[in-house]
Structure 1
Amino acid sequence: MLRPENSYLRILRLVQDGQVALSAALVWKADLKNYEDTLLISPALVHEGEFIAGIYTHATNSNALNAKTPEALRQLSAASNSHWKADIATLHQLGIKKIYYSTYWPQIVRMVVARRADITLAPFQSNPDMKVQVNDVELVPIPGIKVSLPGSRHWPISKKHPESAAISAALVRGIAALEANNTIQRAYEESGFFHPAVKHWTLINPPDTHSSTGD
């Protein structure tokens, strides 16, 4: 049974408590370290250094759109979720001191639209302009630059579920098969997560310049 849930922490608690067998959403490895007694962890679906994100702002925010150097980015403010450790680590690494927090993604997007914050981080989108679109509002990436978020992403499986071992074994086999025939790579490319349009954009924080949160 699929159980919709928008809160990142709530998803972790549901899996940890055994109320659901596993999360359909990928979870950062660093966020699972405190739950190793209650969770099994799938092989990585996104490996260390692969999570490349855009720096998103509103189309009318000229200051943000023109901030294409670390020095300029440090003058901006950001919106994020305090539980998104990889995002926060990246924002801190960029030297951004003003970070405003909200629990839900639509609220974060609206904070940027309302100029309560200048930017937020998000994966590049598959639409032609790579816009983040949430209900009736949208954000655009600052052109020409991208960032790398530290860590790897996995599916957590509840050890309390009676089929946990079988589910984990099936995921290990399935992920290995999908990686072997390049299906995962193609899916990420088609979804825009590995976006060809930003291949030559400047990565302003190469992975070896930040500390890893685990793989």
Structure 2
Amino acid sequence: MNRRRNQLSQKRQYLWAKNLLSSWLFGLVLASTGHTQSISIEGLIKPQQHQRAETQQHVLKVAVHKSKALWQAATATQACYEYQPPVQHNLTRGFLEVMILCRALHTAGAEFKIEIVDTPSHARAIRMVESGAADILGETTWLRNANPNEVLISSAVIRLGKLEKGLYTKAEHPAQQQVQDAQSVQGLRGITVDFWKTDRKALEDITPLSYSAAAFDNLHNMLVAGRADFTLFKFPQSQDLSIDIHGQRYLPLKGVKVQLMGTRHFLIDKQHLQAELILQAINQGLEQLHQTMDVEDFIGSAPLWVRDWQVLNNAFTESSK
């Protein structure tokens, strides 16, 4: 990682001269006007009444887990900040969070072009930002996963207590025929991915029979083989709440859910030449978005039709202490 970081640092030093003038102008205008309503990624703050300067649009490399094809389809005929998901869908949270990232930058007046970098896993996406191979983590991560020595951390995208998951079993699992409560769930075997530490904590809170898998495919295989009964999945925006994975249909145990502890954030490569400007734009945009729309509902972290289900753990209460 250090070797990669050194190589990227040398490249950035080469590009520094190209960016120096715009960064200097940013500081000059900021100091003289104090204006923060329209931020340009080039480092220029341009009041809305001023004519747009002819400047080259910067490219931001945004690392996301397997979302490039969705991004390309969604932005083929419209700007990313104009995208609206269908009423019912099973889109990934990472893809929808990139759309929130786009909206935040646009809302703050930032000039940019997003280039999606597909990654094989969420952990790999984080490592790419830490090493400088990507500029921004486009899917949010828990605060505990962020290394402040390597990255800048945005304000909360998904706020405390707003992310909930269902207890999903195979559609044909016998537990689907029974009414579930906190006591009955303790007799079921739960499984999650080892790296998903917040999910692991929620799982351990609701059953003593909790297991972890090295990767998502391993988790799926154990459920299919009957070596575990349920896992925690994000609720899709569909009335039956079903999820299909490699031909296997999963359903949530009706009436029960968990609440995940913590907040989720975007990460920015700390060594990026304009990291502070990017962070400022994202935070400014997020603040406005949280005032004008339901960000968590857009991302699909808690569908309206499951909000009266019983929370089996007390994550939000504990986090508030």
Select 1:163's aligned residue among 261, 274, 299.
274
Q: Which runs of 4+ in 1 moved over 6 A?
A: none
- CA drift of 1:67 comes to 6.3
Matches of 2:181 and 2:252 in 1, distance apart? Answer: 14
- CA drift of 1:135 comes to 3.4
Structure with bigger gyration radius: 2
Q: Which amino acid aligns with 1:37?
A: N
- CA drift of 1:178 comes to 0.8
1:76 aligns with 2:188: yes
- CA drift of 1:162 comes to 1.7
Structure 2 residues without counterparts, runs of 5 or longer: 1-114
C-alpha contact (below 8 Å) 1:150/1:207 kept by paired residues? yes
C-alpha contact (below 8 Å) 2:158/2:263 kept by paired residues? yes
- CA drift of 1:39 comes to 0.7
Partner of 2:125: 11
Partner of 2:304: 196
- CA drift of 1:70 comes to 2.3
If asked which structure has higher relative contact order (CA below 8 Å, sep 6+), I would say: 1
Matches of 1:121 and 1:208 in 2, distance apart? Answer: 17
Structure 1 or 2: more helix by fraction: 2
Select 2:235's aligned residue among 124, 129, 136.
124
Structure 1 residues 92 and 43, CA, compared in 2 at 3 Å: closer, same or farther? same
C-alpha contact (below 8 Å) 1:109/1:138 kept by paired residues? no
Structure 1 residues 10 and 185, CA, compared in 2 at 3 Å: closer, same or farther? closer
C-alpha contact (below 8 Å) 1:78/1:120 kept by paired residues? yes
Matches of 2:124 and 2:306 in 1, distance apart? Answer: 33
Matches of 1:156 and 1:100 in 2, distance apart? Answer: 26
Partner of 1:101: 213
- Give the percent of matched residue pairs that are identical in Structure 1 and Structure 2: 25
Structure 1 residues 186 and 48, CA, compared in 2 at 3 Å: closer, same or farther? closer
1:57 aligns with 2:160: no
Select 1:114's aligned residue among 206, 212, 225.
225
C-alpha contact (below 8 Å) 2:130/2:269 kept by paired residues? yes
Structure 1 residues 45 and 109, CA, compared in 2 at 3 Å: closer, same or farther? same
Matches of 1:135 and 1:184 in 2, distance apart? Answer: 29
Select 2:264's aligned residue among 134, 144, 153.
153
Q: Which amino acid aligns with 1:96?
A: P
Matches of 1:22 and 1:122 in 2, distance apart? Answer: 25
Select 1:25's aligned residue among 139, 155, 158.
139
Q: Which amino acid aligns with 2:262?
A: G
C-alpha contact (below 8 Å) 2:162/2:296 kept by paired residues? no
More divergent stretch after superposition (196-205 vs 177-186): 177-186
1:182 aligns with 2:293: yes
Partner of 1:138: 249
Matches of 1:196 and 1:84 in 2, distance apart? Answer: 25
Q: Which amino acid aligns with 1:147?
A: V
TM-score w.r.t. the length of structure 2 is 0.60
Matches of 2:294 and 2:181 in 1, distance apart? Answer: 35
Q: Which amino acid aligns with 1:11?
A: A
- CA drift of 1:186 comes to 4.7
**Aligned residue-pair number:** 206
Q: Which amino acid aligns with 2:234?
A: P
Partner of 2:16: none
C-alpha contact (below 8 Å) 1:73/1:96 kept by paired residues? no
Matches of 1:12 and 1:186 in 2, distance apart? Answer: 24
